[in-house]
Chains A and B, each alone.
Chain A
Amino acid sequence: MKEKAQVSERFREFKAELTSRPSIVLGMGLRGFLRLLSLKNKWILALVALIWLWTLGFYVLLSTGDYPCENLEFWDSSDFKRCQPLVYYNDLGLGGVRLFLVTLAAISSSGLIANDMTDKSLHLYLSRPISRLDYLIARFIPVFLLLMCVTALPNLIVYVNQWGEAGLEFDWIKNHKWLLLDILILGSFYSASYSIIGLTFSTAINRESWAAGAFFLFVYGSAIIIEIFYLIMLESGVGDDRILLLSVIHLLDIIGFYIFGTQPFFTAFGLEGIDIADIEVFGVFILIIGSCGLFVNWMISQMEANK
Chain B
Amino acid sequence: MIEARNVIKKYGAVTALDDFTVDIPEGKIGILGPNGAGKSTFVKIALGLIRTTSGSITVLGEDLDRNTVDIRRKIGYMPEHDCIPNSMTGVEFLIEMGLVTGMSLQSATQRTHEILGHLMMGEEKYRKIEEYSGGMRQKIKLAQGLIHGPEVIFLDEPTSGLDPKARQEMLETINGLTEVSGTNVLLSTHILQDVETVCDQVIIINNGKLQMQENVKKLMQRQTDVIQVRIGGSTEDFVKQLKKSGITATSGGRGLHVPYVNDKTFEQIVDSAVKSNCQLYEMERATITMDNIYLEVVD
Contacts and interface: CB of A to CB of B under 8 A. Distances in A.
A304 B43 CA distance: 12
Interface string A290-307: 000000000000001101
A129 B71 CA distance: 7
Contacts, number: 107
Interface in A123-146: 123-131, 134
B73 A121 contact: no
Interface stretch (B102-110, B232-240, B244-252, B257-265): B102-110
Interface string A105-125: 000000000011001111111
A87 to B, nearest CB: 44
A307 B69 contact: no
Which has the most chain B C-beta neighbours within 10 Å: A8, A120, A128? A128
Contacts of B180: 8, 11-12
A119 B86 contact: yes
Nearest to B105: A27
Contacts of B70: 21, 129
Contacts of B181: 11-12, 14
Given A120-B83, A127-B47, A7 B73 contact: no
B153 to A, nearest CB: 11
Given A12-B180, A27-B99, A126 B81 contact: no
Contacts of B81: 120, 123, 307
Contacts of A31: 96, 99
Contacts of A16: 98, 101-103, 107, 111, 148-149
A33 to B, nearest CB: 14
Interface in B61-104: 68-73, 75, 77, 79-86, 96-104
A121 B78 CA distance: 11
A153 interface: no
Contact of B101 (A15, A18, A20): A18
Interface residues of A, number: 37
B10 to A, nearest CB: 12
Given A31-B99, A127-B79, A129-B69, A19 B49 contact: no
A235 interface: no
Interface string A221-233: 0000000000000
Contacts of A130: 69, 100
Contacts of B101: 16, 18, 24, 128-129
Contacts of B86: 119
Interface string B40-69: 100010010110000000000000000011
B50 A304 contact: yes
Interface in A41-59: none
A275 interface: no
A175 interface: no
Given A12-B181, A121-B84, A304 B49 contact: yes
A105 B44 CA distance: 34
A126 B100 contact: no
A77 to B, nearest CB: 55
9 contacts: A16-B107, A18-B73, A19-B104, A120-B82, A122-B83, A123-B79, A129-B69, A129-B72, A304-B50
Interface of B: 11, 40, 44, 47, 49-50, 68-73, 75, 77, 79-86, 96-104, 107, 111, 114, 118, 144, 148-149, 180-182
Interface of A: 7-8, 10-12, 14-21, 23-24, 27-28, 31, 115-116, 119-131, 134, 304-305, 307
